[in-house]
């Protein structure tokens, strides 16, 4: 299937989901975290996040709260406003994944969970470098597996498809070589060890 055709299919799936929710994205986003495969992703993140945690691209802060993060960053000020209401104990800041508002080695673990696929491919390497810059021990990356037929893979908001080749590039070219890549439950998981 051509990329253009796949994107058209993704757009149709996304429109149907939004239509089912009365043309509001928020409830769709809330319901997403209750799905069994999303719960597996959240459990994987919680099991692998060590020490102090920063979530980059935190949206409303659900993952941040679930893993016990100290901080979250999102480029959308509305997301940050909601995150602060839902989890006032976590420090949420408006910020860009390409220029994180923290000094070097500020957190033990940095999460890039379901965020890289939302930015243009040419920015992914810089976002990975920024995550490495502020991390002391590890960077955890999750992406929807673009080679599965899941609602997560079929999202019109994704700038690119997380194919095996793209996941391998993120895991080997953009992140340091110490770590591992796995795929399960419709997601690609990358652990990048810095120590």
Per-residue pLDDT tens for 125-137? 999 999 999 999 9
Per-residue pLDDT tens for 52-78? 999 999 988 999 999 999 999 999 888
Please give the Cα distance from 30 to 167 (Å, whole number).
26
Q: Which domain holds residue 120?
A: 36-193
The answer to whether residue 65 sits within a structural domain is yes
Please give the Cα distance from 83 to 78 (Å, whole number).
9
Nearest to 21 by CA among 34, 10, 32, 7: 32
The answer to whether residue 27 sits within a structural domain is no
**Do residues 90 and 71 touch, judged by C-beta distance below 8 A?**
yes
The answer to whether residue 150 sits within a structural domain is yes
pLDDT attached to residue 150? 59
Percent of all residues in the chain with a pLDDT value above 90, rounded to a whole number: 40
The answer to whether residue 102 sits within a structural domain is yes
CATH code, domain with 58: 3.40.50.150
The count of domains in the chain is 1
Per-residue pLDDT tens for 136-173? 999 999 988 665 555 655 565 666 667 777 777 888 77
The answer to whether residue 61 sits within a structural domain is yes
The answer to whether residue 77 sits within a structural domain is yes
The answer to whether residue 81 sits within a structural domain is yes
The answer to whether residue 12 sits within a structural domain is no
Those residues whose C-beta lies under 8 Å from the C-beta of residue 169, and which sit 6 or more positions away, are: none
105 φ, ψ to 5°?
50, 45
């Amino acid at each position: 299937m051509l990329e253009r055709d796949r994107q058209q299919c993704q757009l149709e799936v996304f429109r149907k989901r939004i239509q089912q929710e009365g043309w509001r994205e928020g409830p769709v986003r809330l319901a997403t975290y209750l799905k069994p495969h999303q719960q597996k992703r959240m459990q994987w993140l919680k099991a692998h996040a060590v020490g102090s945690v920063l979530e980059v691209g935190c949206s409303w802060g659900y993952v941040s709260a679930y893993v016990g993060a100290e901080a979250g960053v999102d480029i959308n000020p509305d997301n940050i406003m909601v995150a602060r209401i839902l989890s006032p104990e976590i420090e949420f800041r408006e910020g860009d994944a390409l220029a994180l508002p923290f000094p070097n080695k500020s957190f033990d673990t940095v999460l890039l969970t379901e965020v890289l696929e939302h930015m243009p491919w040419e920015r992914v390497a810089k976002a990975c470098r920024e995550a490495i810059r502020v991390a002391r021990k590890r960077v955890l990356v999750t992406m929807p597996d673009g080679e599965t037929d899941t609602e997560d893979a079929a999202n019109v908001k994704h700038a690119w498809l997380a194919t095996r080749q793209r996941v391998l590039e993120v895991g080997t070219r953009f992140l340091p070589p110490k770590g591992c890549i796995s795929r399960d439950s419709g997601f690609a998981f990358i652990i990048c060890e810095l120590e």
